Amino acid sequence: MKQYVVDAFTDSVFHGNQAAVCVLDHWPDEELMLNITRENNFSETAFTVKEGEKWHLRWFTPGGEIDLCGHATLGTAYVLFRFFEKDVQKLVFTTLSGDLIVTKNGDLLEMEFPAYDLEPVEVTDAMTEAIGVRPIEAYMARDLLCVLDDEKKVRELIPNLEKIKQIDGLLVHVTAKGKEADCVSRSFAPKLAIPEDPVCGSGHCHIIPYWADLLGKDELIAYQASKRGGTLYCRREGSKIFLAGKAALYSIDELFVDLF
């Protein structure tokens, strides 16, 4: 069984966000997929099977299956375009979040995702204790979005991961207006056994709607300020968020596991 390791939202290895991609003929047992994910210990491992004209795509974290993941979708599309679907310009993935489309756009791969509807929530002491700095605003959708007044605070904050587990939201994203990019962010997911997600695509389905409204523009460049770092080229069209980025192949592995 082949497994591809791809660094997403970067054009060079050792940057961006790592995703393992397993392209399969049929679905293995769910427990095996979770064990492979835990063995990899990346933030996500993707599994995909072609069903008709579409590819069925599932994402697993070490903590379990999730409903949306940007960087592992980008990594999967990169693998399929390069090794399995060399003559197509567009891929359609069937996922827990509905059909997701990835299109070649020059040297970028552009993903079409649903935007999350953000609801403003009260800034609490619990949020401040969890992320280590007091937000000026906070919003809730699937994840909690905390807005800071200074990019430097985003880059330098040291979160309390145990306290992040105790506040609402599957993930916690912290963001501020950027100097070289339109916005800067970091993403934390200890509830999914991921201390910090290096570059979080689904997080930007929260982050981009906020900044698009505040900055009054629908095309933005976003930078994820983790240690690995990553750049996302984003645009909003109605209820859709388009996230584009590059990817780099790190390895092709042979997994010695029984799929039956």
Catalytic sites, residue numbers: 44
Q: Is the dihedral of CA 20, 25, 26, 29 positive or negative?
A: negative
What is the helix (H) or strand (E) element at residue 79, kind and residue range? helix 70-79
Q: DSSP secondary-structure letter at 191?
A: G
Distances (CA, A) of 174 to 33, 142, 184, 231, 252: 30, 14, 8, 16, 34
Can you list the positions of beta strands (E) in the chain? 2-8, 17-24, 44-51, 54-61, 64-66, 90-95, 98-105, 108-114, 119-121, 137-140, 144-147, 172-177, 183-189, 194-197, 219-224, 230-237, 240-245, 247-254
| Contact call for residues 130 and 160 (beta carbons, < 8 A) | yes
125: which 2 tokens? 């002491």
Query: Left (φ > 0), alpha (ψ -120 to 50) or beta: where does 97 sit?
Result: alpha
Give me the helices (H) in 6-69, please: 30-40
Q: Is the dihedral of CA 152, 155, 161, 166 positive or negative?
A: positive
- In 3D space, the residue among 101, 140, 107 whose CA is nearest the CA of residue 124 turns out to be 140
